[in-house]
Amino acid sequence: MKLSYRYEQTSCRLRIDGLPDLSAGHGPEVIGILSGWELDLAGHPSLEGKRDHLQALLAVVLPYARHLVSSVPRPMGAATDPVQMEPVSSSRGGLRNRQAHRLRLLSSQPETQPLELSFDDAELADLVRCLDQLRLDPRVQLGFSLPPDRPLHRREILERVPLRQRLAAPAAGLAALAITAAFGLMVPLPRRTATPAASPAVTPTSPLTPPR
């Protein structure tokens, strides 16, 4: 009753092995109990581990790729987590300052150095597609507890705009205000002209009539 499913892309191949969980009412083609998994990446050693490592891989790589697509790349995974990922600069392919992505895996075995793998955008896209295929496969019912997909926070969206561009509008407004104030000081005020004094009004008097 052992089942095995593969998810393949150009530079990545993921295979999971398991059994149906009959106590959960799974059919004969559903993996409900994970017995092993293996991830083959082009130019890198094969990866394998327990269920916790596969879940940690899903919980780090997928949110990392989502932030990258939203133009807000940021590291994922704490220093003590078994899987960590972060953007780095690379000179791979003879091009300097090219963005790459570093995957860091901590082994559960004592006295074992962490394994670090570097990907370019195409290799990361292949890895994300394989993990998405696993996550969305109805034949795999492993109940991974992954963080829900939520919209980016307002602060994260603002971070996509370069600081220079964010400060351009306020700076232009202040400059326009300063120029307007300078021109206002340069324009002379109109002088007040002296008006002639008004002659006192003479009220006409009726002529005296001689007495009769």
Integer Cα distance of 76 and 183 in angstroms: 53
For the chain, 212 residues long, the average pLDDT of each consecutive 10-residue run is: 93 96 90 95 90 93 90 88 89 63 87 89 95 95 82 64 53 65 62 59 54 54
Other beta carbons within 10 angstroms of residue 179's beta carbon come to 10
What φ, ψ does residue 128 adopt, rounded to 5°? -65, -40
Tokens 């009753």 found at? 1
Tokens 């002659």 found at? 199
pLDDT for 80 = 87
pTM of the entire structure?
0.70
